[in-house]
Structure 1
């Protein structure tokens, strides 16, 4: 093979290419994500030191009164050790791994994607990006249905930088709701959910609708926001959304009063 072709391959032109194909496009945290990495050899033989896939997302971080989107690797999985890919060769490498419980839901267009790459000396790393939908884990689904049964309506969701609150990741996902008709004292409800293998913990924040001068002062000093914490184990969640709705209703009423 000519020196020219080797030089082209070293800068990523007509080099080894990867294409990851997932078994499906929608997953819930804790579920096994399965796929196959398809490898196509380029114009020259190339040594690949390793193949990896990353589960990635973004969060918002505020600095100097400006907000920035930061990419974050939730998990990195090595699919293959070193191999020698011959000119024009076709290879397929299957993989699977459980979607981490910290993976955010893809609400409000929250991006979550699989990034595939190769470790190749002195070369531009070929990259492949596949976006996925992340749906609610069964535990989270019970809580979200309970909120809906109370009449709250989804408003929006963001992943915000919060390294102290985040469990294993530097962010938390805040899910906001408009108040239901029976909660006139509530301006907004916000949930932060932390999945466990045997349950789910919650931060429940109520933004109260203050009245008059006292209400204005509360809003000015962020005193109109009240937080509560709640731990729901598997036994609680197995009793269904109506049972969880009763627990949440009592907490919200106490915080709003």
Structure 2
């Protein structure tokens, strides 16, 4: 009768325990952010219902396209019948920032198989991206903790889908949720995230460039979401130009 090697069994148990701990750590870390998600999600669900979208269609939309900015854009453009090509184009434009976010994570994902990494990035949003990247830098690690990232993402994803659906359900009962100031939750969440990523005024110059360009573009082209792409490109370009030159 063949006995299990004690060293291999212990290593497997330790790895499973470590994974569970990282999942729980990520889920717990997501709690302050997901609390900010709740009013924001309620507002989106209520706006969707007011545009004629059913309570079943809202979680379908938010579950398949986990990106708050593009979903708000889609709701603003929603009509009967909907202009699907226009909505899809604007959603793609708003979500184009995920290409830059994914590129920033790439050096931290080289230890993860490609298929698993791509599947995990389906759940990436601005908040989970920022938290996972900040966690890796805080640990001074060149590898992203995938279990931590999944833990964060699960909490945020489920909260978003559930409460957008709830917003669609309660909208006829309580009217316009924006009059209660719930839409300020979006700004509050991003202020907290930016504070956690602050590395000094010099390092944040690309943020300022991105902000100014996005604001000017919004003033000149208020229709659509061109300001998102303009801000992203300007921020990326300024970061490349302002990066310290390596000595030869």
For the aligned pair, the TM-score class normalised by the smaller chain equals under 0.3
Structure (1/2) with the larger strand percentage: 1
Using structure 2 for the length normalisation, give the TM-score.
0.21
Using structure 1 for the length normalisation, give the TM-score.
0.20
Structure (1/2) with the larger helix percentage: 2
Larger of the two Rg values belongs to structure: 1
